[in-house]
Amino acid sequence: MQKLAKREEQIMQALWSLDKAFIKEIMAELTDELHYNTVATIIKILEEKGFVAHETFGNAHQYYPLISKKKYQKQELGYIVKQYFNNSHKNLVAFFAEEKNIDQSELEEIIELIKKNKS
């Protein structure tokens, strides 16, 4: 699976949120104002990359994701762990703990989740 460019990811976030949408509905979800043709072009690129497909209703296309958000998250997180944390999830969690982005209760919740998934 390819990595998404910034604008492609913004559009995918909108589609993941909406599940199925026409271009105008996608545009309404975006925080940046983009021209209709720009969004249409990016969606066409996403279709070519295999991230999106569409159903035709008359002259209009309703788009939907072919790749789940979870699958893409897994890929991207795997890349980050490999590139920035020596392929160690422990180093990733330690980074957040050291930066004080995770408090004690969150760390305890993470430990409990790990224990449940190991059982």
Q: How does pLDDT run across 1-53, given as a tens digit for each residue?
A: 788 999 999 999 999 999 999 999 999 999 888 999 999 999 999 999 999 99
The CA distance from 46 to 38, in Å, is 12
Question: Could you confirm whether domain 6-65 is CATH 1.10.10.10?
Answer: yes
Residues of the chain with CATH 1.10.10.10: 6-65
The CA distance from 89 to 97, in Å, is 12
Angle formed at CA 77 by CA 75 and CA 79, multiple of 5 degrees: 70
pTM of the model: 0.80
